[in-house]
């Protein structure tokens, strides 16, 4: 039984590592998009139209929201998996 629990924990750790890599990639995208928005000139920026400006703004907001949702999903997965692991861990009595 301990071997099975150990294998499950190893698979969970691997899954969390892969989720972290995906979130890291999203973080890099968010950082790049944030850098692009800071490069917009404050005076007389030419976006062509209000629709184009709105579309670009929505795109940035979607990427940031996606990144934050990814972080929340990772946090939930780690918490759920930790709860399962803690149920399997046997804590010795203080008298032993």
Q: Mapping DSSP to helix (H, G, I), strand (E, B) and coil, where does residue 43 land?
A: coil
Q: What per-residue confidence (pLDDT) applies to 37?
A: 72
Asked if the model's pLDDT at residue 72 lies above 70, the reply is yes
Asked if the model's pLDDT at residue 95 lies above 60, the reply is no
Question: What's the CA gap between 51 and 72, in Å, rounded?
Answer: 31
For residues 77 and 20, the answer to whether their CB atoms sit within 8 Å is no
Q: What per-residue confidence (pLDDT) applies to 39?
A: 67
For residues 63 and 30, the answer to whether their CB atoms sit within 8 Å is yes
Residue 60, class by beta-carbon neighbours within 10 Å (0-12 exposed, 13-18 middle, 19+ buried)? Answer: middle
Q: What per-residue confidence (pLDDT) applies to 94?
A: 66
Asked if the model's pLDDT at residue 85 lies above 80, the reply is no
- Give which of 9, 10, 20 is closest to 71, Cα–Cα: 20
Question: What's the CA gap between 83 and 96, in Å, rounded?
Answer: 25
Q: What per-residue confidence (pLDDT) applies to 22?
A: 85
Q: Where do the structural domains in the chain lie, given as residue ranges?
A: 2-88
* 18-68: pLDDT as tens digits: 888 888 888 888 788 777 777 666 666 666 777 777 887 788 788 888 888
The region of weakest confidence among 9-13, 36-40, 85-89 is 36-40
Q: Is the pTM of this model over 0.85?
A: no
For residues 89 and 27, the answer to whether their CB atoms sit within 8 Å is no
């Amino acid at each position: 039984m301990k071997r099975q629990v150990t294998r499950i924990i190893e698979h969970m750790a691997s899954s969390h590592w892969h989720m972290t890599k995906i979130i890291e990639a999203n973080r890099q995208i968010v950082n790049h998009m944030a850098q692009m928005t800071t490069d917009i000139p404050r005076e007389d920026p030419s976006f062509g139209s209000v629709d184009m400006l709105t579309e670009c703004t929505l795109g940035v907001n979607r990427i940031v929201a996606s990144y934050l949702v990814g972080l929340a999903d990772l946090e939930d997965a780690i918490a759920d998996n930790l709860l399962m692991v803690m149920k399997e861990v046997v804590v010795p009595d203080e008298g032993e």
